[in-house]
Structure 1
Amino acid sequence: MSTNIDPEVMRTLVSQVIKELKEKGAGTSCPAPTAAATLYGVFPTMSECIDASTKAQEVLLFQTPATRQKWVEVIRHTCLDKRNMEMMSRMAVEETAIGRYEDKIIKNTAAAKYTPGIEDLSTDARTGGHGITLFEYCPFGVIGSITPTTNPTETIINNSICMIAGGNTVVFSPHPRARKTSAFLVQTLNRALEKSGAPANMITMVQNPSIEATNEMMASPKVRMLVATGGPGIVKTVLSSGKKAIGAGPGNPPVVVDETANIEQAAKDIVAGSSFDNNVPCIAEKEVFAVDSIFDYLLINMKGAGSYEIKDRETIEKLWSVVSNEKGGPKVEFVGKSAQYILDKIGIQVEGSIHLIIMEVNKEHPFVQTEMMMPILPLVRCDNVDQAIEWAYESEHGNRHSAMMHSTNIAKLSKMAKLLQTTIFVKNGPSFAGLGIGGEGYPTFTIAGPTGEGLTSPKSFCRRRECVLKDMFNIR
């Protein structure tokens, strides 16, 4: 998406919006419970969010598929509006301090344009001597959705389209570090939907997101389904709620490159995918396993594609000590930061054209075994492709999330797909092709590996109803 607005002007505008939101609330809270805030989906308490969403769903329930699709198109159009798109993308980076504005634009655009709508909900029919039976999709009702700080706007756009297409309304519980951005988007969408004749508050969120508010949402009998996008802790909590739940948990996506691959193209794709939004997407390349015969050539091409190589062990270990916490996980303050920013913290200055940090390590190194969500990509040298696939399987830790392979060997591509059993498996392309960005799939920001739905779409948030009409002439 091109822009004619000066970046400095946009940054100033975003700062003004965030400042106004702070002034209207208390401290760092979202907008105070004014009439406008209440009318447009942002409520001071979770119970008000749920009640408003319930009321909206009672109206939505009786709307035709064509009407629901009309409102889906309103969401798409509103998000793709130039000012709204640039505002929410810039706000997300400013508020969360995660990712890159240009890549947020790409992700938000993909979510708005390519998330499936009503067309995903096809009705099947069976006829015979005893009448007709329809198998149709129907809504759960009010859905509670927990969204992450890494993809705050993308997840709200994607889930709102999917859930409303299915006849549901949604209560969002955003990450507290993305509350202002989330509130801006929720209110913007509700304004547009109400103008189009939709029921008020089909999309709601609590004014000040918190663990307590999330727990209240999960416990409410009016919320019939829960969806969580985040780490293993929140997914486990949702799955133990006793309700229908969809959990999108962690991943550690590996990449395999063998001797039959187009190495120049593989290098470009890997760098593009791993550095996209500073490695925040959960599908992004997190570690590379390359066969020895092409390893050095791959490394050279990756450097030419915008990577900085750290060669000595001492610097690699220094980098690990800086970006990891005492538990061996990523330090929050480095998640989604640029390669330039991270390198500066260990005394290395590079140009802005450097988007990825690479290094050769062994397969046991914590950079390989830990999902860091930073533009840091370890490479492991392998004897052959079978060893590379086996080590990739081990590093993915059974998450069944995402994986990539660069090869023209169909047998080995098939072997990796069958062994890893990931939800997304990208062959000969960057990871984001699996989100429909330059690929033929569709975007989703709730990739449900733990609960098995995989790439969620409108039918993921619906029940399948069997509607039987008995042949009246056979009744005695």
Structure 2
Amino acid sequence: MATHGTENQVDALVATARSAQAGFEAGGSQARYNRATQAAAWAIMEPGRNQVLAELAVRTTGLGNVADKITKNHRKTLGLMRDIADARTFGILSDDASKGITEIARPLGVIGAVVPSTNPAATPANNIINALKCGNAIILSPSPKGVACCEMLLGFIHAEFDKIGQDKRLVQMIPPPGTKADTQRLLELADLAVVTGSQDNVRRAYSSGTPAVGVGAGNVTVIVDETADIAAAAAKIAASKTFDNATSCSSENALVVVDAVYDDFLKAMAAEGGATVPQSQSASIIEKLWPEGHLNREVIAKDANVLIEKLGLAGAVPEGTRFIAVETDGIGPDHPLSGEKLSRVAALYRARDYDDAVAITKRVLNYQGAGHSIGLHTTDAERPVALGRHMPTCRVIVNQAHCFATGGAFDNGMPFSLSMGCGSWGGNSIDDNLHWRHFMQRTKVIRPIPPREPSLDEIFGGYWAEAGR
């Protein structure tokens, strides 16, 4: 590893990674790539290591809680390993004689990955595993609060690499104290920039001159319609909203409930530990959640008891309250409740009917979170598809706990990931969950085949018959 300092030292770090990657690829095989991913995955999933990583993450970042970080580190990594188990990322992928094309898997080279403090072990591990699966080296740039956790994770991975004789230079990080200049230099020198976290970093990656994959901001809005299983919807929303103290970009930030079931939903939500704050008291919540216009760091991703105290709700909400839903009807920059809150607080909108709920949701998305995802609790089979056709979103999550489902779950078909592409709506180059295919490129060998040139009549016959020549 290079030491912190000049641009030349960042250059040297990348050079060592490039050398290691060349050796990894030259001596590569599917078995070797797979073994490297298993080493990296076991480094975070081994229970003792997972425990200390989770404890360190909460202690150094102040975000989330230990039990849920342990669950996240385990399940996200296990799901990823399931997803990539049979993926072919080395050698000949296909050989199509009819087209005369042989397709060969190739690594991208050195991946430069910027990772957030919200998931300082799970997100780096996900990126590392995907990179190694495809024959790449990777250099991480953690957020300042995530440095200690990232260092520990790399230490565990390198210990596993020692067991299998793998080059430890394949997985490195910018050493502390990293700077924005260090990160920018990494983005410029890498073969692919992968950025999860602040939208400022995403924009810097896209403007770095390096091919980049950035992901968008979350501000998940979930509709509960009049056909929904109300008790199930409330239970799923509560489980998702409280998981890891709402650190996930996929946590519900706004609940839009149709008037016909609004009161029943509030009762069901209360049974799950969700306390409703009436709109008449919303100004007090806003003042404490955004003092001087900025999210209160003493509230972000904190346990429920801390949140309740800091918001001045002690004694005002029932014992056992797990999260807060604040009634509001405002949307936009003058109404901060309509944006991302990174806490156990959700905005609560009462819609006249389903069409009004859709309109509210679209307004929220257009203000913040376009492209990421929305949720719908319903028994109507047509409504989710209609949302997918007309809403500015890449994912419509149906009857599921949103933060578990969006990034892949064992009971849905999405790839396991902690980074969600948001398409053009979110200013991203991908609309999928970041996964292994984004870490590989292909070389095609093209041979001549018998010509397949169509006649003009084959192409234009139908058009000519309708429009004339």
Normalized against structure 1, the TM-score is what?
0.84
Q: Matches of 2:61 and 2:44 in 1, distance apart?
A: 20
**Does residue 382 of structure 1 match 2:351?**
yes
Q: Matches of 2:410 and 2:236 in 1, distance apart?
A: 11
Change (3 A) 1:388 1:124: farther
- What residue number does 2:24 align with? 60
- What residue number does 1:138 align with? 106
Match for residue 176 of structure 1 among 144, 149, 159: 144
Q: Matches of 2:238 and 2:410 in 1, distance apart?
A: 15
Q: Which range moves more in the overlay, 294-303 or 203-212?
A: 203-212
Change (3 A) 1:53 1:453: farther
How big is the shift at 1:300? 1.0
Match for residue 173 of structure 2 among 186, 205, 208: 205
How big is the shift at 1:101? 1.1
Match of 1:125, SS state, is strand
- What residue number does 2:130 align with? 162
How big is the shift at 1:104? 0.7
Q: Which range moves more in the overlay, 305-314 or 64-73?
A: 305-314
**Does residue 394 of structure 1 match 2:363?**
yes
Q: Matches of 1:342 and 1:381 in 2, distance apart?
A: 24
Q: Which range moves more in the overlay, 361-370 or 225-234?
A: 361-370
Q: Matches of 2:46 and 2:350 in 1, distance apart?
A: 46
- What residue number does 1:320 align with? 286
Match for residue 233 of structure 2 among 255, 261, 266: 266
Q: Matches of 2:95 and 2:319 in 1, distance apart?
A: 57
Do 1:158 and 1:444's aligned partners in 2 also have CA atoms closer than 8 Å? yes
Normalized against structure 2, the TM-score is what?
0.86
Q: Matches of 2:130 and 2:66 in 1, distance apart?
A: 25
Q: Matches of 2:211 and 2:437 in 1, distance apart?
A: 14
Q: Matches of 1:136 and 1:353 in 2, distance apart?
A: 57
How big is the shift at 1:276? 1.3
**Does residue 106 of structure 1 match 2:75?**
no
Matches within 5 A, 1:59-78: 59-62=23-26, 63-78=28-43
Match of 1:98, SS state, is coil
Equivalent position amino acid for 2:133 in 1:
A
Equivalent position amino acid for 2:408 in 1:
G
Runs of 5+ consecutive residues of structure 2 not aligned to the other structure: 423-427, 450-469
Change (3 A) 1:416 1:363: farther
- What residue number does 1:455 align with? 433
Equivalent position amino acid for 2:445 in 1:
C
Do 2:289 and 2:311's aligned partners in 1 also have CA atoms closer than 8 Å? no
Runs of 5+ consecutive residues of structure 1 not aligned to the other structure: 1-37, 472-476
Equivalent position amino acid for 1:87 in 2:
V
- What residue number does 2:216 align with? 249
Q: Which range moves more in the overlay, 396-405 or 261-270?
A: 396-405
Match for residue 377 of structure 2 among 380, 391, 406: 406
Change (3 A) 1:355 1:125: farther
Q: What do the CA deviations read for 1:371-423 (whole angstroms, capped 9, x no partner)?
A: 11111011101111111112112212262101110001112111112222433
Q: Matches of 1:470 and 1:194 in 2, distance apart?
A: 47
Q: Matches of 2:149 and 2:20 in 1, distance apart?
A: 23
- What residue number does 2:466 align with? none
Change (3 A) 1:439 1:139: same
Q: Which range moves more in the overlay, 112-121 or 225-234?
A: 112-121
Q: Which range moves more in the overlay, 435-444 or 391-400?
A: 435-444
Equivalent pairs counted in the alignment come to 425
Equivalent position amino acid for 2:111 in 1:
I
Equivalent position amino acid for 2:209 in 1:
G
Do 2:370 and 2:392's aligned partners in 1 also have CA atoms closer than 8 Å? no
**Does residue 126 of structure 1 match 2:96?**
yes
- What residue number does 1:231 align with? 198
Q: Matches of 2:221 and 2:95 in 1, distance apart?
A: 42
How big is the shift at 1:349? 2.5
Q: What do the CA deviations read for 1:288-335 (whole angstroms, capped 9, x no partner)?
A: 111000011111111110122223623x21121112153x45234432
Q: Matches of 2:392 and 2:405 in 1, distance apart?
A: 18
How big is the shift at 1:176? 0.5
How big is the shift at 1:240? 0.8
Q: Matches of 2:320 and 2:59 in 1, distance apart?
A: 21
**Does residue 466 of structure 1 match 2:444?**
yes
Equivalent position amino acid for 1:382 in 2:
A
Change (3 A) 1:210 1:333: farther
Do 2:188 and 2:209's aligned partners in 1 also have CA atoms closer than 8 Å? no
Q: Matches of 1:410 and 1:374 in 2, distance apart?
A: 32
Equivalent position amino acid for 1:414 in 2:
V
**Does residue 90 of structure 1 match 2:55?**
yes
Change (3 A) 1:332 1:347: closer
Match of 2:191, SS state, is strand
- What residue number does 1:373 align with? 342
**Does residue 429 of structure 1 match 2:394?**
no
Equivalent position amino acid for 1:322 in 2:
K
**Does residue 345 of structure 1 match 2:310?**
yes
Change (3 A) 1:95 1:246: same
Q: Matches of 2:326 and 2:303 in 1, distance apart?
A: 16
CA RMSD of aligned residues (A): 2.1
Do 2:407 and 2:420's aligned partners in 1 also have CA atoms closer than 8 Å? no
Change (3 A) 1:329 1:347: closer
Q: What percentage of aligned pairs have identical amino acids?
A: 22
Q: Matches of 1:113 and 1:51 in 2, distance apart?
A: 32
Q: Matches of 1:304 and 1:110 in 2, distance apart?
A: 27
Match of 1:146, SS state, is strand
Change (3 A) 1:53 1:269: same
Q: Matches of 1:162 and 1:410 in 2, distance apart?
A: 35
How big is the shift at 1:470? 6.2
